[in-house]
Amino acid sequence: MSNLTVIMYHYVRPIARSRFPSIKGLELNDFVEQVSYIKKNYNPVTIEEVIESFYGNHELPPRSALMTFDDAYSDHFKYAYPILKKNGMQGCFYAPAKTIEEKEILDVNKIHFILASCPDMHDLMTSTRNLFELYREGYDVKDFDEYYMELATENRFDSKEVIFVKRFLQVALPEELRWKICQTLFNTYVGVPQEAFCEELYMTKEQLSHMVSDGMHIGSHGYNHYWWNKLDAEALNNEIEKSLTFLKSIGAYHDNWTACYPYGSSSQEVTNLLRSKGCKLAFTTVVDVARTDSDNPLLIPRLDTNDLPKLSTAKPNKWFRYT
């Protein structure tokens, strides 16, 4: 049996010294320490080795680890990639193509920076409610309080109010309506021109192509970063096809292409489509250590960076596998 620990990263930056010190992410110094911890306690592997372990006879070394980075943030090129390169480790980067092709900020990222810019959740909830009431006419929607009762459930990282804002503006409302609300909230609380913010936040095609040529892996994270399991068959197919076209344009598409579900949005229909298009691996947000001899290669679990220690000298925790 080959155990595989896949670690998931989002923002990696000097957060405390940034313009948005409240953004939820990993401090750069902690990333350096965690990379050192992983090298001491695990055997870093490449995506090619993982594919061979699932589909061939390749035996991964004990305590294998794979590093994955979601959303193609410029943080990854500026900070994570050089550190990985220095340590002889491969990173797997999953890019939502629209941010790069159309220079548009994803709603999910607008929400992150709205939350980071508004410390008063009561104020943000009031603003969100008021904008919903202002823009709701003409849309088939429920009452605000009904949405709150359905969506406000805390998880291991966020309060129920934060979860509500995320779910309400990411998926619960019609796309056009949630875009209007996000746009207004972003302009109010963040107040940075969106084109400039987009160029600052995400990688460029040239940077992604450079990483491909330098041995990093770039995979599909959709085009629009939609919830894949919420799309009908035609929209899902279009979302994946546009993403693959983008991968081809940066030299990252080949027979062993992989994917990462936006928001962890897998389903039987989604995995069937990915399989039909030749996807070899797909990563979820299910928290566990993978087993390459028994797990579905299109439903690979991952640990969050917060599940592993952030000190190079730390002792292994409950997620560590000794075999």
Q: What is the residue-wise DSSP string for 43-56? A: EE--HHHHHHHHHS
Is residue 70 within 8 A of residue 91, CB to CB? The reply is: no
Is residue 242 within 8 A of residue 248, CB to CB? The reply is: no
Question: Phi then psi for 282, rounded to 5 degrees?
Answer: -140, 135
What are the domain boundaries of the chain? 3-103+202-307, 107-197
* CA–CA dist 33, 138 (Å, integer): 52
DSSP letter assigned to residue 316: P
Total Cβ atoms within 10 A of residue 300:
25
Is residue 255 within 8 A of residue 275, CB to CB? The reply is: no
Going residue by residue through the chain (323 aa), what tens digit of pLDDT does each one get?
A: 589 999 999 999 999 999 999 999 999 999 999 999 999 999 999 999 999 999 998 899 999 999 999 999 999 999 999 999 999 999 999 999 999 999 999 989 999 999 999 989 999 999 999 999 999 999 999 999 999 999 999 888 889 999 999 999 998 999 999 999 999 999 999 999 988 999 999 999 999 999 999 999 999 999 999 999 999 999 999 999 999 999 999 999 988 999 999 999 999 999 999 999 999 999 999 999 999 999 999 999 999 999 999 999 999 998 887 76
* CA–CA dist 219, 279 (Å, integer): 10
**The domain made up of 3-103+202-307 is a member of CATH 1.10.3720.10:** no
Task: State if pTM tops 0.85.
Answer: yes
